Amino acid sequence: MLPLEPGTAVPMLRQLGLDLPRPQAILAFSPHWMAREPLAGSSPRPATLHDFGGFDPALRALRYPVPGDPALARRAAALLRQAGWPARLDAERGLDHGVWVPLRVLFAQADVPVVPLAMPWPLDAAGAFRLGEALGVLADEGVLLFGTGSLTHNLHEFRPGAATDSPPEPYVVAFTDWMRQSIEQGDIAALLDYRRRAPHAQRAHPTDEHLLPLFWALGAAGAAVRSRYWHGGVHYGVLSMDAWTFGA
């Protein structure tokens, strides 16, 4: 709903897009594409996927006509195979809403090529970190490794009647504060063990696929990399839109 109800998140993403160095391409890791093994989308012109239902029909009219990058897809798959992951290409895959919704704010001109990467399932935080580690070299080649999800994601408690930036539930504040402190301290061990150590982790993420892209980005960045926090607000009381960038 960000295109229609921007709240705090869209201005944050817009500023982030202005702040980021322009990448050569983007490798996007989203919880909305899962497969039994890592798949890299190699379409030269990935479609805009409207992989949702029951929302305002205006969303289905939106497009993000961005080019793909088959060479990057092949490079990513090769790096993953070198690290022991059975990666393959998917020439038909488009961009799910977890990818194109934020990217159409970050890079509104739709002129930076995008390659989607499937989330191998099952996966945990440590596995997502290792998957990112295998791809970290791409950042040195001008690629933005873009993990997209949600810092808290309990749709069982979603309050559709709430305003976009209604006061957050206390457990959301406690969880996001712990995550922020752990990231700022570079405490990778605690982060990867967040389901035991973070307050209200099970409530913030009944299932954790929407948080795994954060660990993927951390793995790609390296344990000692500099981080920067971006305040995205909490939508509908329970969906934290906070974000981080890692690296120079």
CB 157 within 8 A of CB 202: no
CB 102 within 8 A of CB 114: no
pLDDT score of 223:
65
pLDDT score of 167:
86
pLDDT score of 247:
87
Q: No. of H helices and E strands in the chain?
A: 9, 9
pLDDT score of 62:
98
Query: Does 224 score more than 70 pLDDT?
Result: no
pLDDT per position as a tens digit, 191-201: 999 999 999 99
Strand blocks (E) in the chain: 25-35, 39-41, 88-90, 114-120, 143-147, 227-230, 234-235, 239-240, 243-246
Q: How many Å apart are CA 185 and CA 243, to the nearest integer? A: 16
Please, what is the end-to-end C-alpha distance for the chain in angstroms?
31
The mean per-residue pLDDT over the stretch 76-81 comes to 98
The mean per-residue pLDDT over the stretch 109-120 comes to 98
Query: Does 237 score more than 80 pLDDT?
Result: yes
